[in-house]
């Protein structure tokens, strides 16, 4: 027969995403509406406009994914919706839609931690992660390194003291006149420049904590002193500095914890430079490289649905689902 599906909903920031995902990570459908144009003039996500755009997009997105399965609700086992962390107005749109659909269709509704969604993203389309694993989550909202004894047992090793890695990409992108989202724009420009500026590598030699605000300020100071310097060289030098730090911490963790897999997730894991670096570490150390397929690196509902499957598989009732053990709770 046909596979059971979970309907996932993600509205924590500026993407309205709805997906239908089977327990083995097969994606039956996913519809994502991004809001790049809406926020383009603001240099960041404008929360009130984000909420309003989610309200407009959420039911059309549900309808589109349901059309992909001929509106057959009998295949839907449960609904999983991001309950945080994120923008409260944005989250509420998804949570309310999820609860309403659950009530109308008589399906259980699971509130899912957004970070847990990211950390399950490498198992989308095919199962990749072998435990124990070392995981680096690098997104716009978070930077954290963790040890995963298994799918649900997460030990935090370190996090950032100030900016996240993605935030530093976005801020540097803004400083050198690139649009949002900053990450992909920086990647592209970085491929054309030279690494001539010796930006700091904050906390590179200290444990598993991160700090990126000094790197950002250092780029700002250079631009004040030399406003006409080559922007592509700034991009290349910045990416080098940022990735040097990530690489050092990843190698340290692989060395100390001897994991089977190295999992790197979150929006910044879409960076080709970071992906190449992770693959190099893995080839060298014999650890399995577990990156999400490029399409599922940034925010999406497929990863949220897959994370919801973990609770359904354990037969947990929606209201008994424990707060995920990540330090950053919703």
Binding site for Zn ion (CB under 5 A): 139, 299
Residue 293's Cβ-count burial label (10 Å; 0-12, 13-18, 19+) is middle
Type and span of the H or E element at 289 = strand 288-290
Q: Which two tokens stand for residue 97?
A: 């839609």
Q: What residues have CB less than 8 Å from 35, skipping those under 6 apart?
A: 14, 15, 16, 45, 49, 50, 53
Using CB under 6 A as the criterion, which residues of the chain lie in contact with ligand KG4 when the complex forms? 13, 139-141, 166-167, 169-170, 181-184, 187, 266-268, 270-271, 298-299
CB of 225 to ligand KG4, least distance (A): 26
Kindly tell me which of 6 and 138 has the beta carbon lying closer to ligand KG4: 138
CB of 155 to ligand KG4, least distance (A): 21
Strand order of the β-sheet with 154-159 is 154-159, 143-148, 133-138, 261-265, 288-290
- Tell me the binding residues for substrate: 137-141, 170, 183, 187
Q: Which two tokens stand for residue 290?
A: 């577990």
182 binds, among ligand KG4, Zn ion, none (CB under 5 to 8 A by kind): ligand KG4
Kindly tell me which of 6 and 243 has the beta carbon lying closer to ligand KG4: 243
- Tell me the binding residues for Fe cation: 114, 118, 299
CB of 296 to Zn ion, least distance (A): 11
Rounded CA gap, 168 and 181, in Å?
Answer: 11
Q: Which two tokens stand for residue 76?
A: 């839907």
CB of 105 to ligand KG4, least distance (A): 28
278 binds, among Zn ion, ligand KG4, none (CB under 5 to 8 A by kind): none
Question: How many residues are recorded in the chain?
Answer: 330
Kindly tell me which of 80 and 267 has the beta carbon lying closer to ligand KG4: 267
Kindly tell me which of 66 and 186 has the beta carbon lying closer to Zn ion: 186
CB of 289 to Zn ion, least distance (A): 20
Kindly tell me which of 16 and 139 has the beta carbon lying closer to Zn ion: 139
Rounded CA gap, 54 and 97, in Å?
Answer: 10
Q: Where are the alpha helices (DSSP H) in the chain?
A: 36-39, 47-67, 88-105, 114-120, 165-175, 182-190, 213-225, 231-257, 272-285, 301-313
């Amino acid at each position: 027969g046909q596979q059971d599906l979970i309907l996932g909903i993600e509205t924590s920031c500026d993407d309205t995403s709805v997906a239908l995902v089977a327990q083995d990570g097969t994606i039956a459908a996913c519809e994502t509406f991004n809001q790049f144009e809406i926020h383009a003039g603001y240099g960041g996500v404008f929360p009130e406009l984000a909420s309003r755009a989610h309200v407009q997009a959420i039911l059309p997105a549900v309808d589109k994914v349901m059309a992909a399965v001929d509106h057959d609700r009998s295949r839907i086992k449960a609904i999983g919706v991001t309950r945080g962390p994120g923008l409260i107005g944005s989250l509420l749109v998804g949570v309310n839609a999820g609860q309403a659909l659950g009530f109308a269709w008589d399906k259980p509704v699971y509130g899912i931690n957004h970070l847990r969604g990211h950390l399950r993203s490498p198992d989308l389309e095919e199962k990749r992660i072998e435990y124990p694993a070392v995981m680096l989550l690098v997104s716009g909202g978070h930077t954290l390194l963790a040890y995963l004894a298994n799918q649900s047992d997460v030990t935090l090793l370190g996090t950032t003291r100030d900016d996240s890695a993605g935030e530093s990409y976005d801020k540097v992108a803004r400083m050198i006149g690139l649009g949002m989202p900053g990450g992909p724009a920086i990647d592209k420009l970085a491929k054309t420049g030279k690494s001539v500026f010796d930006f700091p590598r904050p906390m590179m030699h200290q444990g598993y904590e991160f700090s990126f605000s000094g790197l950002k300020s250092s780029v700002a100071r250079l631009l004040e002193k030399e406003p006409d310097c080559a922007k592509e060289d700034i991009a290349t030098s910045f990416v080098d500095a940022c990735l040097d730090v990530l690489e050092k911490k990843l190698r340290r963790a692989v060395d100390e914890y001897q994991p089977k897999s190295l999992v790197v997730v979150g929006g910044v894991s879409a960076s080709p430079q970071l992906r190449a670096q992770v693959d190099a570490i893995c080839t060298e150390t014999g650890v399995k490289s577990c990156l999400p397929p490029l399409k599922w690196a940034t925010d999406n509902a497929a990863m949220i649905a897959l994370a919801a499957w973990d609770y359904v598989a354990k037969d947990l009732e929606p209201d008994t689902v424990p707060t995920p053990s990540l330090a950053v709770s919703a």
